Chains A and B, each alone.
Chain A
């Protein structure tokens, strides 16, 4: 609707103010320089106390491990997210729900489909998992009531489930989710669409590249691989067709040459000791796109961008913690500074 900026604050003003406040607490370059100089994980905990994280590790038993730090970081982010979700109206609440999906997708999907192989399941679903005898029962017991069921319609059938199919199903679900999210954002229109769509297009293209590169040397066939590429990116349709035919890294790089931003990303990456990996370059580009969301006001992308930037911050802190814990400080500066 016209002049939507005038009406935005009625429903969403508090939350936009809140998320911008949270954004100001994201660790800066100076904070990272402090963290990098820590000698032990206890030092790291001390330095994190002076940031927005505060004493979130105060009640943890020593010795501190990297996985505990990771859990606590995620917990803090989840608390903030839940607060925002609880205060939100449509359409923001719908967007926030969509944003929560990726992490929800992998756990239940994996549990459902790998029951025959007795993986150790996620604790809350333990009882349901023990009762159900087949994946179909699991689906009926757990997933059919969740919003994930819509995505399962396309690809679930009673097929022979092995690791290949689990991987295919997991990626097909993610593709369906991403395309649905993209459609939703374009339907919102306005500044939200202008800022969200480039981010989601990049996500789709990045998944296409990573799936292609990781599938070299595995039993995934080219046709199956092509079915996993999301269609909402810049690579659709030509780039995806070429990627489906690629056999090695050089051919993937050749496909990227046709797209200026991706050409730059591939140029900076390499597998020599001093270079950044391609995935690092993708993360960097993602951070750049997400930062752009904060330049506009009265739109919903700030929420998505905030969550993504917070995830990257968690990754950074966990990376620094791993380098400290393993006493392997050579690559400790490989984190991606955000602000």
Chain B
């Protein structure tokens, strides 16, 4: 019974990771193509490495943690503006399923962009907030204020790719753990049936 369950989990996780990888590939190609279109209207040199500084603070951090069962969990955390509310329902280390849905909830709330005066004092999130710079600059502004739609589309595609990549990585680690579990259960099963067979012979 247990082995069947883990086989099913293994297969569904594999299918899910294939689907996510396909989505990520499509988004990446779309993003780069939108950049090519933006370069067509703005000029190649207007959308290039000349527009940004060589050193900068990242806006998105990847937070790694280890769950029970030894699987690694990777979460993307975007730096919020000081005036934006940092949600209290931070992802806790419960289980893979809940973290994935928790991540989705968090993304939705970030995208709604709720602006409140107070900050959440959750300790885990507070350390991140303290490292925030006073001004949060949208990378889109590197290329000017009046940018064509294509550049905005490219930015949203790449943002999605970042969160997807973190999900894919955690899913991959979960798959490896499931595989180990499956192999352990197969071995157990073999050991169980072998003594029984020996009994029959004797």
Using CB atoms and an 8 Å cutoff, list the residues of chain A in contact with chain B: 66-67, 70, 106, 117-120, 122, 163-164, 166-167, 170-171, 210-211, 214-215, 218-220, 271, 277, 279, 315, 318-319, 322-323, 326, 328, 331
Contact = CB atoms under 8 A, between A and B. Distances in A.
B133 interface: no
A243 to B, nearest CB: 14
A326 B145 contact: no
Nearest to A219: B145
B40 A122 contact: no
A322 B52 contact: no
Given A220-B146, A328-B33, A331-B33, 5 more contacts: A120-B52, A211-B146, A218-B146, A323-B36, A326-B32
B145 A106 contact: no
A106 B32 CA distance: 24
Contacts of B53: 117-120
Q: Which 10 A-B pairs have the closest CB atoms?
A: A214-B146, A167-B145, A322-B36, A70-B44, A163-B141, A279-B41, A118-B53, A167-B144, A218-B145, A328-B33
B51 interface: yes
Contacts of B44: 66-67, 70, 318
Given A163-B144, A163-B145, A215-B146, A318 B40 contact: yes
A271 to B, nearest CB: 8
A120 B54 contact: yes
A277 B52 CA distance: 28
A141 to B, nearest CB: 20
A326 B146 CA distance: 26
A123 B68 CA distance: 53
Interface of B: 29, 32-33, 36-37, 39-41, 44, 46, 48-54, 137, 141, 144-149
Contacts of B145: 163-164, 167, 215, 218-220
Nearest to A163: B141
B196 to A, nearest CB: 57
A119 B52 contact: yes
A169 to B, nearest CB: 11
23 contacts: A106-B46, A119-B51, A119-B52, A120-B49, A120-B52, A163-B141, A163-B144, A166-B144, A167-B145, A171-B146, A211-B146, A214-B146, A214-B149, A279-B41, A318-B39, A318-B40, A318-B44, A322-B36, A323-B36, A326-B29, A326-B32, A326-B36, A331-B33
A315 B145 CA distance: 23
A11 to B, nearest CB: 33
Contacts of B40: 315, 318-319
A328 B52 CA distance: 27
B52 A170 contact: no
A170 B144 CA distance: 10
Contacts of B33: 326, 328, 331
B48 A67 contact: yes
A322 B34 CA distance: 11
A315 B43 CA distance: 8
A218 B144 CA distance: 11
B24 to A, nearest CB: 16
Nearest to B32: A326
A78 to B, nearest CB: 13
A113 B36 CA distance: 27
Contacts of A67: 44, 48
B158 to A, nearest CB: 15
A299 B145 CA distance: 38
A214 B50 contact: no
A328 B146 CA distance: 27
Contacts of A214: 146-149
Of B141, B145, B149, most A-chain CB atoms within 10 Å: B145
Contacts of A219: 145
A117 B50 CA distance: 13
A170 B54 CA distance: 23
Contacts of B54: 120
B183 to A, nearest CB: 39
A328 B41 CA distance: 18
A326 B28 CA distance: 11
A322 B37 CA distance: 9
Of A70, A163, A210, A211, most B-chain CB atoms within 10 Å: A163
Contacts of A164: 145
Nearest to A168: B145
A331 B144 CA distance: 26
A279 B43 CA distance: 13
Contacts of A171: 146
Nearest to B50: A120
Contacts of A277: 37
Nearest to B46: A106
A318 B53 CA distance: 25
Nearest to B146: A214
A319 B50 contact: no
